Amino acid sequence: MKPSSSSSSSRLLEITVISGENLLDNRKQPVKKNAFVNIKAESSTCNGQTTKMDKEGGSFPMWNEKLIVALPMHARHLTMEVQCKASSGIKTVGIAKVPTSDFTGGFLPEDYLHFLSYRLRDGKGEKNGIINFSLRVKNAPPQSSQSAGCAAAYSRQWTTAPVGMRSSYNSSSGVVTGIPVYPGSLSGNITNLMVNKF
């Protein structure tokens, strides 16, 4: 169900929740099944949007589910919370807060399709898995000819995103990087890497 917020007061985000990686229950045992994702905007009065459960994926769930989320214009971040259903109830695996500056502003138009990966943190702030997703703004204002030209030139570097997109993780620095898919001849020009260092 689409949110009812008007386009004048909020951005409508089209978010495809792709997959999770290395999800642990209490940072000890791999999540066995029934993982799902809640997405909510900062300061939002609605309950957000939720994916279906992946009943088979365990600690590497696959959702590939598209959701529409209303993001208030003043919001500074988007919250993605991975949970799982166990016999004892609903457990939170980890949360990622995505700054809106990661997908708005800059030289790319707001309706550009971003592929992102973020480190999840549990209730104690400890690392606990990764979430992979794509995002674009559906009700973005018309782009200028200059930004359209930049986006067109940039888009030629891409082919298609894999369904099971995996992220690059440097264990020494704790950096999770979203990896774009591009022809090998353009491997020296990666301008849209979205890096979560938090």
Helix, strand, coil content of the chain in percent (nearest 5): 10, 45, 50
Higher confidence at residue 169 or residue 92?
A: 92
Average pLDDT, the chain: 74
CATH numbers and ranges of domains, the chain = 10-138 (2.60.40.150)
- Percent of the chain at pLDDT exceeding 90: 45
How many whole angstroms separate alpha carbon 143 and alpha carbon 123?
40
User: Residue for token digits 């949970």?
Assistant: 83
- The pLDDT-based confidence of 191 (bands split at 50, 70, 90) is very low
Tell how far CA 2 is from the center of its chain. Answer: 18
Contact in structure between 92 and 79 (CB atoms under 8 Å): no
pTM to 2 decimal places: 0.69
* 72-90 burial: b if 16+ Cβ within 10 Å, else e: beebebbbbbbbbeeeeee
Cα dist. 149→11, 62, 126, 146 in Å?
A: 23, 35, 42, 5
- Percent of the chain at pLDDT exceeding 70: 64
Contact in structure between 80 and 96 (CB atoms under 8 Å): yes
Q: What is the pLDDT of residue 48?
A: 84
* Mean pLDDT value across residues 100-127: 89
User: Residue for token digits 């707001």?
Assistant: 110
Sheet of 168-170, strand order: 168-170, 175-177, 195-196
Higher confidence at residue 101 or residue 176?
A: 101
Report the largest interatomic distance among the alpha carbons of the chain, rounded to a whole angstrom.
55
In terms of C-beta density within 10 A (0-12 exposed, 13-18 middle, 19 or more buried), how is residue 177 classed?
A: middle
pLDDT in tens, 138-172: 876 655 544 444 444 344 333 334 444 444 334 44
Q: Is the pLDDT of residue 85 over 50?
A: yes
> Which residues touch 100 (CB under 8 Å, ≥6 apart)?
71, 75, 76, 77, 78
Q: What is the pLDDT of residue 107?
A: 77
> Which one of 4-8, 84-88, 127-131, 173-177 scores highest in mean pLDDT?
127-131
Tell how far CA 159 is from the center of its chain. Answer: 19
pLDDT in tens, 16-68: 999 999 999 887 899 999 999 999 987 666 668 999 999 998 999 999 999 99
